[in-house]
Amino acid sequence: MSVSDEIGFNVYHGGTWVVTENDDDAYIGGEVLSFQCKPEDL
C-alpha cells in the first residue's frame, strides 16, 4: 500500500485556539493526537 491510500487525522484536545498578532492561528496547551489509516477502516 502506498501513502496515498491512507488518510491522516489530527485531533486537538484540551487547549485553546488563538489568533496571533500576525493573524496566524495557533493552538496553545492541550494535546494534538495524529493518526493515519485507510478510509475504509473508519
38 closest CA partner among 7, 4, 2, 3: 7
Residues ≥6 apart with Cβ < 8 Å to 29: 14, 15, 16
Total of domains in the chain: 1
**Domain range enclosing 20:** 3-41
Question: pLDDT tens string for the chain (42 positions)?
Answer: 455 689 999 999 999 999 999 999 999 999 999 999 998 887
3-state secondary structure of 36: strand
CA dist., res. 6 & res. 3, Å (int): 6
CA dist., res. 8 & res. 20, Å (int): 26
pLDDT of residue 3: 53
